[in-house]
A and B are shown apart, each in its own frame.
Chain A
Amino acid sequence: MRSNSPGLVTSDDHEDCLVIRDLAVAYGRKVVLKGVQADIRRGQVVGIIGPNGGGKSTLLKAILGLAPVTAGSIYLFGKHASQLRSRMAYVPQRELVDWDFPVTAYDVAMMGRYPHIGWLRRPTNHDRSVVEHMMERVEIIDQRAAQIGQLSGGQQQRVFIARALAQEADVLLLDEPMNGIDAGTQDIIMQVIEEQRVAGKIVLLATHDLVSASCACDCLCCVNERMVSYGPVTETYTVDNLAATYGGPLIMLGKSAEIEPAHTHHTGDHGHHHHTHEGVGGERN
């Protein structure tokens, strides 16, 4: 096993940071994520990468205060993150949304304004103009009256991006935003992430798309049930580190480097039949 390479971005001014210290998350007795350390400054985009079930979504949920944190702490701008929830905007995985629900694209985008509207009030003209502006930004305004399920995958994702933008939050958490969407939408999402960076927001991007993560992000947080590494892309987007994160055969399309795990044993022509036989026997056992 490789040793951790925390690669923390040191910052004296935590007033400007999302700070995660020794974070551990467990559902019942099962620890799903531990040892997360990160200092994320305003204007930084952090990619959270790792295998399925490695804890990418869990980390986002822990930051939002929606996962059972058993150890460690999360501070945003010098306060407990749970106190500043409304300053974090979240884009869920597409698979978790009920697309048959009777809401229009506009209704969904307007949900981003709910923390601003407050109880017992109605949306103001300002709320409406923010929603329209953000829907224009992601080029979905023409579909404002469409029921959410009538849209294509990319259009649906843009509606959720518009909702997150309409919240005018300081932290944007995106869970697999590139899944099942068209190239045009991917471009828009990448542009939006860049704009958020320039605007001094913090962006967290959980993704299994290593190429887009390496392009869009300043830092990578590699997780596989624990934090394997955290640091600038130049240090973490390496063959060794990714192999340590994924712990198996890995093909990096961007650099066309193929990584063989240390334990694979090559049997060659001679061993082929033997291997098959073993596999069948294994299934039966």
Chain B
Amino acid sequence: MQVIDYLIDPLHHEFMRRAMIEVVLMGAVTGAIGTFVVLRGLSFIGDALSHAIFPGVIIAFLLGASIFWGALLFGVLTSIAIGVVATHQRVKEDSAIGVLFAGTFALGVVLISSSKNFTRDLASFLFGNVLGVTMTDIWLSFGMGALVIVLIGVFYRELLITSFDRVAAQAMGLPVFLLDLLLLVMISLTIVVSLRAVGNILVVAMLVTPAAAARLLADRLLVTMSLSAAIGVASGIVGLYISYYNDFAAGGTIVLVATAIFALVWLFAPAHGYVFTNVLNRRLAGAAETQVVFESPEIQAPGRH
């Protein structure tokens, strides 16, 4: 069958098999942790972290060491720095983040300008190079991804309550600052996992877009997280096929697929989609106008902010 061939053909190449494994790992982990990024409004922090680990990647690359460890070190350092600088009263958190991520990113650009293959290397870090992943990369991605998923499992309740009701979490005596730091470190790990697949610049899309779509589809955290991971994986696989057959950049294509999925969900999600809430509801409301009068106020939807 032609469709099967279409799907199987690329997998005859070793590099495509490796790329496929890599994007599946990346999609699952970014989708899962991205749920917290979206629920807590950390998109900007995710973007900042992805830029901030850039000099770590470059230093490791120039030293010939694994870029994973360089990225991880800078991710953790930046997470702590953001947390600490923002506790100063005169510096608001978003300013602290802005200063740190622009500064560290600039450091990375300056550092890599000393490399012989400046342009090519820079491009592969900024936009990913999923077709060039090695088995070592895959094992490291798997290890870090598994670590992130296990940490989510272990601290699920704590992450839930600090995200939903921070004051109650503090009131219960939970170490909210440390939990915030843990989440930032987990986001850093996730970004490191994603570097090869989509690169520095576009990783924030994988952190935000699948989770934002999943949020429109689910009413429970665990379901939201699972759907988000599924959308991340689907974006990775579909994006990789499309890029293979059209010779597009893989990272960009994967993000575009995720964006398209978000757009579809935003339009057509059963309960919270635009079409349902604005077009169908209005029509139903018109038809059922006489019945609405008899409903008790208790049943009416509450105001949302």
Contacts and interface: CB of A to CB of B under 8 A. Distances in A.
Interface of A: 28, 61, 64-66, 85-86, 88, 90, 92, 95-104, 107-108, 111, 114-115, 117, 119-120, 147, 149-156, 163, 182, 184
Interface in B7-54: 39
B151 to A, nearest CB: 12
Nearest to B225: A102
28 contacts: A64-B171, A85-B173, A86-B172, A86-B173, A90-B167, A90-B168, A96-B167, A97-B165, A100-B304, A101-B163, A102-B221, A102-B223, A102-B224, A107-B220, A107-B221, A111-B165, A111-B168, A114-B157, A114-B158, A114-B174, A117-B157, A149-B304, A152-B300, A152-B301, A154-B298, A156-B302, A163-B168, A182-B297
A114 B221 contact: no
B116 interface: no
A104 B220 CA distance: 6
Given A65-B170, A90-B167, A152-B298, 16 more contacts: A64-B170, A86-B172, A100-B304, A101-B163, A102-B215, A103-B160, A103-B220, A104-B220, A111-B161, A150-B301, A151-B302, A152-B297, A152-B299, A154-B298, A156-B302, A184-B298
Contacts of A100: 304
Contacts of A104: 219-220
B4 interface: no
Interface residues of B, number: 32
B167 A92 contact: yes
A115 B220 contact: no
Interface string B148-166: 0000001001101101110
Contacts of B173: 85-86, 115
Interface in B194-225: 215, 218-221, 223-224
Nearest to A60: B171
Interface of B: 39, 89, 154, 157-158, 160-161, 163-165, 167-168, 170-174, 215, 218-221, 223-224, 297-302, 304-305
Given A92-B168, A102-B219, A114 B39 contact: no
Nearest to A175: B167
Contacts of A150: 219, 301
Nearest to B166: A96
Of all A-B residue pairs in the complex, the 3 with the closest CB atoms, nearest first, are: A147-B219, A85-B173, A64-B171
A119 B165 CA distance: 18
Nearest to B172: A115
A99 B301 CA distance: 11
